[in-house]
Amino acid sequence: MEALKKLSDILLSLRCPLCGELLLYGSSNVLCKSCTDLIIHNISTGSNCCCQCGIPLISETERCLSCRTKEINYLSNRSLFRYSGEIKELIYQYKFKGQKNISFLFANFLSGYIFRNNLKDVIVPVPGRKIVKRQQGWEHIDLIAKILSKKYKLPVIKLLRRSGKKAQKTLNIEKRALNLRNSIKIVKNVNTVPSSVILLDDVFTTGTTINECASILKQAGVKDVSSLTIAID
């Protein structure tokens, strides 16, 4: 069974996860050229977005209505893409279909943003639920963070841990906050924390998880917390 699983993983990695086109054997590309060009074209420019959460604005200026009506613990969030179309499919294939090679594509885009903007903050991955890691054998944000550290030599520290609760995506805004209460904590045996960090996550939806993580980090002594996510919903 293990051999069949490995063979299945190899065969999947030989095809573009978006269109299914066969990739060249030995190629380090995750997507075919057409899909790569399409994804790059959809990278957010960051213009006309909320200065707090990063959501595209329609009629508001500088700050969206949601950010003006709630307490926020992070400085700002920036997302590389909208959570739709090809990006939504890529995240799905990565998180739920086990296509781990997509982590290299996401790490490439994230590191590009960090280098372009000359960000020096320590990267802190948002912790996933332990039950998911036990079921899948790996954690999707941790894997991206490891690539950012090893391949791109970016500073990454795992400062947060999370106890098992319901998945945030199944809950409304009020229940999301309640679900996270007391579930995210600083990891044990941490003596010092960085003064400035970037929280790393996949999808920014309501900002509840990022906000809670930022609150915990600030209580632990972190001065400035911002957020970088692959996509915003």
What string of DSSP letters covers 68-105? HTS---SS-EEEEEESSHHHHHHHHHHHHS--TTHHHH
Q: Total domain count for the chain?
A: 2
Domain match, 169 and 212 both: yes
**Dihedrals φ, ψ of 72, to 5°?**
-125, 130
Walk along the chain (233 residues) and give the pLDDT tens digit of each residue: 555 555 555 555 588 999 988 887 656 789 999 999 999 988 887 788 999 999 998 877 788 988 998 899 999 999 999 999 999 999 999 998 889 999 999 999 999 999 999 999 999 999 987 776 777 777 899 999 999 999 999 999 999 998 865 555 555 555 656 666 678 999 988 889 999 999 999 999 999 999 999 999 999 999 999 999 999 99
Please indicate, yes or no, if residue 151 is contained in any of the structural domains: yes
Please indicate, yes or no, if residue 37 is contained in any of the structural domains: no
Domain match, 60 and 26 both: no
Domain match, 15 and 89 both: no
Distance CA 104, CA 118 (A): 20
For residue 205, the model assigns a pLDDT of: 92
Domain match, 150 and 181 both: yes
Gap between the terminal Cα atoms of the chain: 37
Range of the domain at 70: 42-232
